[in-house]
Structures are given as C-alpha cells and as structure tokens.
Amino acid sequence: MPLRPQSRRQFLSSTGMLLLAASMPASAAEHSGTLPWRPFAALPPDPLPGGRWYVFTPEEARTVEAIVDRIVPSDDLSIGGKEAGCASFIDRQLAGSYGTSDRLYMQGPFMPGLPTQGYQGSAAPAARYRDGLAALNKHSRDKLGGKAFFELAPAEQDQVLKDFEAGKVEYKASAGFFNLVLQNTMEGFFADPIYGGNKDMAGWKFIGFPGARYDYRDYVTAHNKPFPLPPLSIGGRPEWKTGSR
Amino acid sequence: MKTAALFAGLAAATLVGTAGFASDLFDRIEAGRYQAILGDCSACHTRPGGKPFAGGEPLETPFGRLVPSNITPDPETGIGRWSYEDFRSALKRGIGKDGKRLYPAMPYPAYSSMSDSDIADLWAYFQKVEPVSNRVVSNQLPFPFSIRTVMAGWNLLNFSPKEFQSDPAKSAEWNRGAYLVNGAGHCGTCHTPRSLTGADKGGEFLRGGNLQDWFAPSLTGDPHKGIGAWSKDDVVAYLKTGANRFDIASGPMAEAVAQSTSKWADSDLQAVATYLKDVKSDGTAAPKPVAADEQAMVSGKAVYFDRCSACHVSSGQGQPSLFPTLAKAPLVNSTDPSSLIRVVLAGSQAVGTAAKPTTPAMPSFAWNLDDAAVANVLTYVRNSWGNAAPAVTPGQVKDMRASLRK
C-alpha cells in the first residue's frame, strides 16, 4: 500500500512533538554497565492463608461449597470441588483485587455487550457473588419447601443450577452469575494449589498436567512414553520432603 | 675555561635530566596505576558509586567492623601528609604514619612482598589521584581489638615482613606469577584458610578459605576440590573474561575480576596461570560420596530436577559462559558449603566484563525452599556426577539464612 504523502504542516508538527518529547526528562529508570541486581530479589506469590473465610458468610460458604461440588462432583476419577478447595479458592480471590475489580477500569459508561464479551456491568465479583448467592437461596427456599440450596438433594441442586444457567430465575443477573461460578470453579480446580484450590494437585493428576515445570529437554525425544515426573506446584511437591520419586 | 666547560656540561645534563624526569614520572604514574589495579585497592577503598579511593564500605570481620580508609592525597582526611616512607611502611610492615598500626584486613602481609620499585610507582600514582575530603573512622572494632597496638602482638605472632624471593629453579614466568599471586594480587587473603587470630595458615596456602560468609575454593592442583582440571588457558580465560568452559565468577570474585584481573596484562595472567598450575594440593583423597538412595539425596534430586536443572542441566553440566558446571566443580566439592548455601538462598549475579557482558544471575530461592530442601538439594549436587562432599545440614542453612538476613 502506498504511503500517503505527508503535508509540510504534518511533518513540522510531528517533528515538533518529537523534539518536545526528546527534551522532556525521561521518567523511566536508566541503567548502564551491568544489569541491576540485589540479593534475595524475588516476587513470590503472596496467597492468603487458608483455614478461614474472608468474604463469604457461613451460609454463603456452605452454598458455594454445595455449588462447586455439583459442578465437579466427586467420583472414581477425582475428588469433588468442595474437597479440592474450590470454595476456599473463590473466597480468597474475592478478598483480593479480583473481588473488587481494583485492577479493571470500572468508571463506566456501562453498555450492554455481546455475549462473547462477558459481563459488562458495574458490579465487582464480590458483590455479584453476594447478590447471586442470595438469589439462589431465595429461589431454592421459595420453590423447594423452604430449604436453602445446600440443604437440597443433589438432583434438586442440579435442577436449580440448570434453572440459573437457563435464566429461568427471577433475578436480573442470574445467567451471568452461573457462568461466573462455573468459571471460578474450574479455576479453583486447576489453579496452582498455593491459591487454595486444586488440593494435592488433584486436578492436575486428573488430567495429566505436569504442573509448573519449565524444563523438558530430557524428554522431548522420548516419543510415545508418558512423562515420568509427578506434577509440581509453585510451592513444591511432596517428594521434596518424602524423598520418594 | 675549565669552569665554563663544567658549567655548560652541568646545564646540558640538567636539561636532559629534567626532560627525562618528566617522561619518567609519567611512566611511573602509569605503572603505579597498573599496580593499583593489580592490588585491587579500589575494591576496599572505593565505595560503590563513590569517589575513587576516598574510603570504602565497612568490612565486617570476625573481630568487628573496620572501614577502609581514605587513601586520596587529601591532607586532612587522606594520606596527603604522608611521606613515601610512611606509605612504604604501611604496605611493607603494616605501620602507617606516626607508627599507627594497620589492621591486617588491609592485606599488608601480602603487599609486604611487593618490590620497592612497584611500591614507589604506586606512591607516584596515589599522589596524582584526585584528593577527596572524606573523614573515615576506620577503627570501629570493639575492645580490645580497638587498641591498635594489639596488632604489634599479632604481627609478632603472624607476620614477618618478607621480600619476594624468586626461585632460580623455576622459569621467569613462574616467578612473575608467584610474585603477583603472593604480593599485589593477594589471592591468599580469601583463598588461604585463616587461623583463629585471622592470619593466613601458612602451610595451607591457597587451599580455600571462608571470608564474610563466602567460601573461596582451593586454587591448588587438587583434582577434586581445586583447579586441577583447569588448563592454563582456562585460568587465563576465567581471570580475563570472568568465565571459562567450567565456571563463571560471582560473589566477591566477580568484583575481583571486574575491577582487577580483567584489566591485567595478558602476560601477567599467563604468569599467574603458570604459577597456580604448580601449587601443590594437600594430597587428601576425595571422600566417598553420600549414597544415592539416602533420603536426603532422593529428596534433593526431586528439588534439583524441579528448580535447578533448567539452567544447570540434569547432568550438572550447565551452559558455558552462562551457568556454571556443577559436576566436578571445585567449589561444589569443597568441604565448606557456605558459598553454595548462600547463592541458593540469596541468588547471585555473575561478573560482567567487556568480553562477557551478559551478567547472568541466579535467582533467590529463599522464599521457595525451606532449610531442609536447600540442604537436600545441595547434598544431592555435592554427591552426584562424580562429586563427593559432606552432606549439608538444615542447621547450616538456618544459620546462613540468619547471617545473611542480619
């Protein structure tokens, strides 16, 4: 494609901007000679310690545990979402910048988006969980004999979740809420165990994912053989202590 | 007539003499600058980013804190009022102006074997260094070490000023190397073990020493703990560029290479290599390696494959000029694991030189590996691929962690 010829005015103004930019003091760090380095330099992940709920009330926690155990039920292939810690994972994520959308642009205008664009509203995930869980339990209590979601039989829970997914619930953000929990449950089941889910790397063992490894040079030529090492978390693996391979 | 001729002759001689003196002085200053590089004076006497030779970073010795002095020619705070004799005496005898005794953190026991002409050159250079007013309180030692005259007793016990004695049975190159290693280069300051009083153990010259939580490995021909496997060219490449086919300098040796040995004349590096390749080891046999099926070895292997092998390779070979070879490496096989524990905990940056400017760095693992994991992985590294060295204990790692975090 031919370049559009520049006008003299365009040339002068762009050159002027360039000179102006060049004469401004640089704000970026400058280094010369050797690269900067200091001992103990590290940016380790800083997950919240488990053993408590940060965002969820007791009823919310039990509700989320019941949901994740329906999305990933325990069977002979793997443990369920509750035992894997998915609810705790979600709670800890909601307690951080994910829960408040601190790291997203949240000033509006909030326009309806396409389905492929995901949630476009003004509520942050922590608030969406609060509203969504309340709606879920209200729906459950209204329709199923006054029982909260976590008190229902598994088949009934599945039906409530299907109703939510299909948007059959009288709740303005119900469809979005189901997708949110589904997404976060999968994240909790497959994220690194240091973040509270994927207990004992159960999710990774389930699908044969080798974990946070970075060196496969010894194995790239070993065709048609299973990778011999167990999965590895950022925090390590039990074999570091037990000594078994 | 006779008188006139004498005068004319004198005048001519003076003229020639003056011209000769000027160029001679320039040569001496330049030669002195080179001596300051050989002696790596700036390593201690220049603060990082500070004015040259105006006083350095505090040294934490086992006896307390010493701050390297201002050796610029500033009359108030430097050595501007010193005479050549004061300067010579400081280097040769450890006694500065007005009989003030130096502490042997200043390696005068090594510098004492420097020749008078090299010291005179160094003096000529230091008189031309920019004077900087910077008062340094060198002596921050606790009592009784704070009493400088204590060093008279130390010197009596541990130090006898010695001129360098060349060995006529050896080549001129060997003798030059011996002069550099023992004198200005003061290699033994780190690489020779120290006695309880902090003196070099004379009988164990260059067999490896511990200083400020770093272990400087043996430079003897020991095939296990020393540089027996290194060729002369390997030694020269290491000192000149910071890296050779086995290793890459880091820690205090990175500074020594960057500021000193990388600027030495090639002929001097050759001489050092010739001499070092002739330094005898203690002749002790390598120990038996820790058995591969021991719990620490098996656990350590798991850590090694998960955290180390991407750079140092599963066979411990590393990558030339980037990641040191761990297999059969002198430092890895040394009895004292201090440097190894230290770099695993804190990380380390390799030297950058004109020839090898990359400065590859090892990351810190202190956040990720607990004391047992560090101990196990080092025990594995120290007893695999032909290596053999005592197992590292979690207690050693705990102590180093505490010491480095101070």
pLDDT of residue A124: 92
Tell me which H or E stretch contains B7. Answer: helix B2-39
Chain A residues close to B293, C-beta within 8 Å: none
pLDDT of residue A214: 87
Among B241, B225, B249, B158, CA closest to B196: B158
Domain definitions of chain A by residue range: 58-207, 210-245
Q: Are A124 and A99 in contact (CB under 8 A)?
A: yes
pLDDT of residue A17: 57
pLDDT of residue B10: 46
Region B191-208: what's the mean pLDDT? 81
Give the separation between CA B2 and CA B389, rounded to whole angstroms.
Answer: 83
pLDDT of residue A173: 54
Range of lowest pLDDT (A26-35, A203-212, B293-302, B311-320) = A26-35
State whether B373 and A236 contact (CB < 8 Å). Answer: yes
Region B141-157: what's the mean pLDDT? 74
State whether A37 and B361 contact (CB < 8 Å). Answer: yes
For the cut 70, the answer to whether the pLDDT of residue B255 exceeds it is yes
Region A161-169: what's the mean pLDDT? 85
Residues of B near A (Cβ–Cβ under 8 Å) read 295-296, 298-299, 301-303, 305-306, 309-310, 313-314, 345-349, 352, 357, 359, 361, 363-364, 366-369, 372-373, 376, 404
Distances (CA, A) of A12 to A2, A5, A157: 21, 14, 69
pLDDT of residue B91: 94
Contacts of A55 (CB under 8 A, 6+ apart): A91, A94, A95, A99, A126, A129
Query: What's the Rg (C-alpha) of chain A?
Result: 25
Strands B139-140 and B348-349: unpaired
State whether A239 and B347 contact (CB < 8 Å). Answer: no
What average pLDDT does chain B have?
Answer: 90
For the cut 50, the answer to whether the pLDDT of residue A58 exceeds it is yes
pLDDT in tens, A72-104: 999 999 999 999 999 999 999 999 999 999 999
pLDDT of residue A120: 86
Give the separation between CA A209 and CA A188, rounded to whole angstroms.
Answer: 15
Give the separation between CA B306 and CA B319, rounded to whole angstroms.
Answer: 18
Distances (CA, A) of A33 to A38, B354, B358: 15, 10, 10
Distance from CA of A41 to the nearest CA of B (A): 6
Q: Are A213 and A220 in contact (CB under 8 A)?
A: no
Confidence band (pLDDT; 50, 70, 90) for B195? confident
For the cut 50, the answer to whether the pLDDT of residue B261 exceeds it is yes
Give the separation between CA B385 and CA B324, rounded to whole angstroms.
Answer: 14
Domain definitions of chain B by residue range: 27-158, 172-276, 295-405
Give the separation between CA B181 and CA A177, rounded to whole angstroms.
Answer: 74
For the cut 80, the answer to whether the pLDDT of residue B152 exceeds it is no
State whether B302 and A240 contact (CB < 8 Å). Answer: yes
CB atoms inside a 10 Å sphere around CB B355:
12
Contacts of B402 (CB under 8 A, 6+ apart): none
pLDDT of residue B143: 76
Give the separation between CA B366 and CA B112, rounded to whole angstroms.
Answer: 42
Q: What does the block give as tokens for B304?
A: 């090694």
Confidence band (pLDDT; 50, 70, 90) for B212? confident
For the cut 90, the answer to whether the pLDDT of residue A152 exceeds it is yes
Quick one: fold of B295-405? Cytochrome Bc1 Complex; Chain D, domain 2 (1.10.760)
Q: What is the ipTM of this complex?
A: 0.83
A contact residues 66-95, partner B, Cβ 8 Å cutoff? none
Give the sheet arrangement for strand B59-61, strand by strand: B59-61, B64-66, B139-140
pLDDT in tens, A1-30: 444 555 666 555 655 555 555 555 556 777
Confidence band (pLDDT; 50, 70, 90) for A181? very high
pLDDT in tens, A46-55: 889 999 999 9
CA A174 distance to own-chain centroid:
20
pLDDT of residue B211: 87
Distance from CA of A182 to the nearest CA of B (A): 31
For the cut 70, the answer to whether the pLDDT of residue B354 exceeds it is yes
Confidence band (pLDDT; 50, 70, 90) for B44? very high
Nearest chain B residue to A35 by CA distance is B359
Distance from CA of B404 to the nearest CA of A (A): 9
For the cut 50, the answer to whether the pLDDT of residue A162 exceeds it is yes
Give the separation between CA B79 and CA B85, rounded to whole angstroms.
Answer: 12
A32 touching B, CB under 8 A? no
For the cut 60, the answer to whether the pLDDT of residue B229 exceeds it is yes
Q: What does the block give as tokens for B163?
A: 């001129």
For the cut 80, the answer to whether the pLDDT of residue B20 exceeds it is no
Q: Are B305 and A229 in contact (CB under 8 A)?
A: yes
